[in-house]
Amino acid sequence: MKPLIDDQEAVLACFLADIDIQIANGQKPDALLVAGDVFDRSIPPEDAVRRLDRFLDEVIGKRGISVAMIPGNHDSATRVGANATLLKNSGLRLFSSAESLSDPLLITSSSGSAAIYGVPYLEPAEWGFHFKQTLTNHDAALAAILESLKPRLAADRAAGRRTVLMLHAFVAGGQASESERPLSIGGSELVAAERLKEFDYVALGHLHRPQRVASDRIRYSGSLFPYSASEAGSEKGYVTIELHRDRDHDRFEFSSFKTERSLRVLSGSFAELLQSPPLGDYVIIELTDSVLPFEAFRRLATVFPHLLHVGSRAAEFATLGSGQPLALRSRHEERADHEVIGDFLKEATGDGCSDEEREWLISELSQFLNKEKERAP
């Protein structure tokens, strides 16, 4: 959705403006930490890749601020980590492999020094292969990771360096929303917060709500935007971390993004919502109709231009027709595709296709079948 992508860029522009204010006040950040889910899919759209490139140039190239980044469960670790060795000396540290775990980003400033460790999101079996162990869940994998870091963390403490961990995980005690992609089935995705107390700060990614877990020093900064109804009213922003030689002087501050639009969740019938006054906010709609109307999203988007989702719980749980199972037809029976779909709709809703819907089905199916024929060898 192009308006959403444009709004993301606007939010990042505001974030850069906040950085410029910090620089003007003599508080230039030493590093920007990105804790995973750089993209929303393993093969991102070209436009998203270009926008990330422009943003990194603004931070690293124009402002001279280092960036440390780990891949999340939405990302491809290999793609995010492309050219990691070359980029390491250009201000972009990509922790994208198990091997990169042992090579922290070292930061030195007037306030002291810090070692930043990045844990890329990998499946437990991948970590098990690296450590030559059998690891069956994320908590066991984290335990093995932290055990491997013990000598380095001891050396950091001896040198007076503060330690920071970047981790993409579901830490027990964190509050999830409806928009996160599960890391695994059941409770095997959870990791214990107790394991993370060795670090001076833990920058977490995965959960979309900004939140602290167990202490001020273990935090999710959250996603750029709300992506589900459960995030309506939730602030979005970033965390500024200040680490000093004296741990008692450390400071952690959450700042909200300045956004033009909030997220609103609306409920009502399709007919009622079509008559609503236009809204400029992001909108998620829960229809009360027993059947999801034809082209509901397209038609409601004329009223709500920043519509994100249309659903109908009543429709999801409606019985098919009279409650009888759908009739199975012989696969050898010669019938047009749109007739089969029309019969399904009649069984499911009791109404079948209108003339407008039938014409649309025939047109869409024809286009699809023609494309398939063109692809065929």
Confidence of residue 372 (pLDDT cuts 50, 70, 90): low
Confidence of residue 263 (pLDDT cuts 50, 70, 90): confident
Confidence of residue 142 (pLDDT cuts 50, 70, 90): very high
Instruction: Please say whether the beta carbons of 124 and 136 come within 8 A.
Output: yes
What average pLDDT does the segment 147-174 reach?
94
| The pLDDT of residue 319 is above 50 | no
Structure tokens at 182: 């599960």
> CATH: 3.60.21.10, 3.30.1330.100, 2.40.50.140, 3.40.50.10680. Which one for 2-256?
3.60.21.10
Residue of 291, 273, 294, 269 lying closest to 283 (CA atoms): 273
Structure tokens at 144: 């093995």
How much of the chain exceeds pLDDT 90, in percent? 45
**Fold classification of 261-318 (topology level):** Double Stranded RNA Binding Domain (3.30.160)
How much of the chain exceeds pLDDT 70, in percent? 80
| The pLDDT of residue 64 is above 90 | yes
| The pLDDT of residue 350 is above 90 | no
Confidence of residue 151 (pLDDT cuts 50, 70, 90): very high
- Helices 124-131 and 138-158 cross at an angle (nearest 10°) of 50
pLDDT of residue 323: 42
The 10s digit of each residue's pLDDT in 162-205 is 999 999 999 998 887 766 566 654 446 889 999 999 999 999 99
Instruction: Please say whether the beta carbons of 266 and 283 come within 8 A.
Output: yes
pLDDT of residue 339: 62
**Span(s) in the chain for CATH 3.60.21.10:** 2-256
CA-to-CA distance for 99 and 130, rounded, in angstroms? 8
Residue of 169, 186, 190, 188 lying closest to 122 (CA atoms): 169
Structure tokens at 126: 């991948």
For 204, other C-beta atoms within 10 Å of its C-beta total 27
pLDDT of residue 238: 93
**Span(s) in the chain for CATH 3.30.160:** 261-318
pLDDT of residue 111: 82
pLDDT of residue 327: 42
DSSP 198: T
Confidence of residue 315 (pLDDT cuts 50, 70, 90): low
- Four-residue CA torsion sign, 288, 290, 294, 297: positive
pLDDT of residue 67: 96
Alpha carbons within 13 A on the beta-carbon side of 174: 27
Distance of CA 294 to the CA centre of its chain: 30
More confident residue, 207 or 367: 207
CA-to-CA distance for 114 and 109, rounded, in angstroms? 9
Which span out of 210-214, 228-232, 311-315 was modeled with the highest average pLDDT? Answer: 210-214
188-197, 201-210, 342-351: segment of lowest average pLDDT = 342-351
Q: What's the whole-model pTM score?
A: 0.75
Alpha carbons within 13 A on the beta-carbon side of 66: 17
78-87, 146-155, 288-297, 312-321: segment of lowest average pLDDT = 312-321
More confident residue, 94 or 5: 94
